[in-house]
Amino acid sequence: MKKYLLTFGLLLLFFSCGEHINSNTESSLLISNASELSEAIKNAEPGDNIVLKNGVYKDLEIKFTGEGTEKKPITLKAETPGKVFIEGVSNLEISGNYLEVSGLFFRNGYTPTRNVIAFRASEKNVANHSKVTNCVILDYNQLVRDKDDNWVQLFGRYNEFSNNYLAGKTNGGPTLRVDIRGNQSIRNYHQIINNHFGPRPRKGGARGETIQLGGSFSSMSPGNSIIANNLFEECNGEVEIISSKTNYNEIRNNVFYKSEGSVVTRHGNYVTVDGNYFIGDGVNEQYGGIRVVNTGHWITNNLFYKIKGKNFRSPIAIMNGIPKSPLNRYNQVTDVVVAYNTFVDSDAPFQFGVGTNISQADVLPKSEIRSARPLRIEVVNNVLYNSVGDPSPIIEHDKADGVTFQSNIIDNNGVSIANSHGLISKELTLTDLGSDIAVPVTGFNDVEVYNGFGFEDITKDLLGESRGDSNQIGAILNTDTYAIDLLDKTKYGADWFSNDVEAKETKTHTVANAEELKTKLQAAESGDVIQLNDGSYQLSKSLIINKSITIQSNGNSEILYTGLAETAALELHPYGKLTLKNIKLKGTDTQYAFASLKENMSNHFGLEVIDSEISNFNYALKVYKQSYSEEITFMNTAISNCENGIELSEETNDRGDYNTEYLNIIDCKFLNVHKNVIDYYRGGYDESTIGGNLLVSNSTFTNCGAKEENKRLLNHNGIVNVKITGNTFVNNPVQFVSILWGAKNNVESENTLINSGQIKTEENLEMKLMY
């Protein structure tokens, strides 16, 4: 009788919860829809294995709750890793103990909540001893970039996020965040390990970290999170790649490859940053290292290779603090150790007093002035090598009188150093480590190692070799063989996914009339070229740009746009990156030549206009709020007889956001553009957003700005990096060609002004505080 009842029960479970599959676990169910999944989770017991059948699951909100055990976790996994696609408005919430998720692919959608994957189902019901592994989240963005979310948020304790791939986040909010609010989430010992954090594009403002540990107002709590053995590739969301805002975190053995930002001890204390690789290209000045705020950090055994970041992004940036700082600002740096690091061809690696703003005391409240210099800092046992000498390897933005320098050496290739702080000069040779990296590992064993308090705990070098009896300065000991392969992507992320893309052959589509232009543009693949034959192309509806595309001619082609007022001849959609070359683009005075969408710009656009003519439009370029382009360039192009020129000024929330990272105007001609000739805005005093870049060079502006209400020809309020050089301004009825922000990197040179007002520099511009 008992045998009969057991058989009947199993049959009932089969029909109600899905198909049984062979497994060595207590129970395995093959699930094919949401209701089966919900029922299987509801009935799961320790050791059960819930398997999602291969396929696409849309608008699926998974609440994975249960109570597994250490030896018998409850598992939710893909039938085949990478073949279960979670799309639409979907997410995953995990709560309970000893739960594991693997093999899922989130794409083509966005979360309905604050998280794509959350290690909790409610404020009180968190996950502990649980794991998400071998999953991918790709381009899973909200429709608007101002709607912030976190792709992954960890709560609870002893959770693991491992061997996952995450890339393409464009909206606000960290890619991954550890939350420590509540006793159930402090001292969490989470492990964020072996992941591949792929490209995160520039965001155009703050709130674009790849990892954030805690928050300002919980920053005095112990976190004990571990970030180890991850690859951070082109993580360019903002100036902070990792923002540590809790205590006792460990950041170890990670690779930061061509990432435009830094590891930042933003709040909280006693962070260990050990054994990491910071790899640049020797050119890009945005690739950064480690920026230090607060107390008690140990920065040891790190390699900085061809890092050219400046100021906030310098290899080691030690900040000034605010006296009696509130929790959300900048505490004074004290009791920090910077030891056993190696710097190769990295500019001005030691910078002190970074962020000092004493000169802005006239426009900032006293509570914002960073005047507290670092105290009790030990910079010792470091090795610097420069193939091209650096006259200022140590920069003092404010006095480094609280810093101890000892047993640091430099090979500066004969270039003298004005402010050496005891740097010992040596002639060194480089040793190949593999991965196209060469570093000095010999030639300084005669330099006495500085042994400070607690230094006996630094027992290994960057490569894991024991310091023991053969200790020496620098990140790497002199051992017999070196063979590292840092960029072997198979060591990181999901084992079924690769972000390497094979180069595609570019196809050229030749068109002879407007109808062919529309149809072939629609059929073209990303990266293709549309070649216009000589002649005129009349369009009454917008051309949709939703892929990377080039539209060009031999110089004798004209596009005449006769569409409705306030529509764009070329409408720039998410992922739409347009190069327009050798085209005459003409409107009928009421439309826009180029414009982004008014809403749902879930991803970036791009625009490059070369050797072209734009005339008779209401706007040459109209970029709406929450639209973003990493780069916009007009080169050797004439813009004439337009009501408005290039307008990127709708990000008026004054939270540090802006519409493009780089706006380049090179060798252009502006004639009879009545207002918004160039209008590029970033609002809000946010010193950690080092962004907005405007270049105006070798261009002419004639009879422009007649209707500009503020009497400025070039408006670039709040843009940090501005260069106006070699231009000619003739008969522009304005008071100012430009008002430069002297306290930032705003410069002008070799400009000619004829009956066009003046260029003025204001050292300190008043801006709305963001905090």
Strand blocks (E) in 483-624? 508-511, 528-532, 535-539, 543-545, 548-553, 557-561, 568-572, 577-581, 584-586, 592-596, 605-610, 613-615, 619-622
pLDDT surpassing 70 at residue 576: yes
pLDDT surpassing 50 at residue 7: no
The alpha carbon torsion through 596, 601, 606, 610 (nearest 10 deg) reads -10
Q: ∠ CA 360-363-364 to the nearest 5 degrees?
A: 80
Structure tokens at 756: 């066009």
Q: In this predicted structure, which of 2-6, 432-436, 711-715 has the lowest mean pLDDT?
A: 2-6
The pLDDT assigned to 19 comes to 58
Question: Each residue of 158-183: pLDDT tens digit?
Answer: 999 999 999 999 999 999 999 999 99
Structure tokens at 484: 């590292």
Measured over the CA atoms of residue 166, residue 167, residue 170 and residue 175, the dihedral's sign is positive
Task: Give, for 522, the enclosing helix (H) or strand (E).
Answer: helix 514-523
What span, in angstroms and rounded, lies between the C-alpha atoms of 302 and 462? Answer: 7
Which residue has tokens 């180029």?
A: 594
The pLDDT assigned to 688 comes to 58
Its pTM surpasses 0.85: yes
The pLDDT assigned to 364 comes to 78
Which carries the bigger pLDDT value, residue 364 or residue 270? 270
Question: Each residue of 132-155: pLDDT tens digit?
Answer: 999 999 999 999 988 999 999 999
Structure tokens at 390: 């650096």
Backbone angles phi, psi at 218, to 5 degrees: -115, 15
Q: Compute CA distances 445 → 428, 439, 451, 463, 481, whole Å.
A: 12, 15, 15, 18, 18
Instruction: Give the number of other CB atoms < 10 A from CB of residue 670.
Output: 28
Task: Give, for 472, the enclosing helix (H) or strand (E).
Answer: none
What span, in angstroms and rounded, lies between the C-alpha atoms of 664 and 667? Answer: 10
Structure tokens at 302: 């790190």
What span, in angstroms and rounded, lies between the C-alpha atoms of 234 and 669? Answer: 35
Question: Each residue of 477-498: pLDDT tens digit?
Answer: 987 778 899 999 999 999 999 9
pLDDT band at 684 (very low <50, low <70, confident <90, very high): confident
Q: What is the DSSP letter of 515?
A: H
* 9 CA to centre of own chain: 53
How is 354-384 classified by DSSP, letter by letter? ET--GGGTTTS-GGG---B--EEEEEES-EE
Q: What is the mean pLDDT of residues 617-634?
A: 97
Burial class (CB in 10 A: 0-12, 13-18, 19+), 700: middle
Question: Each residue of 414-466: pLDDT tens digit?
Answer: 999 988 999 999 999 999 998 899 999 999 999 999 999 999 999 999 999 99
Burial class (CB in 10 A: 0-12, 13-18, 19+), 735: middle
C-beta contacts of 450-458 below 8 A and 24+ residues apart: 450/339, 450/378, 450/380, 450/381, 450/406, 450/407, 452/337, 452/339, 452/378, 452/380, 454/337, 455/339, 458/300, 458/301, 458/339, 458/340
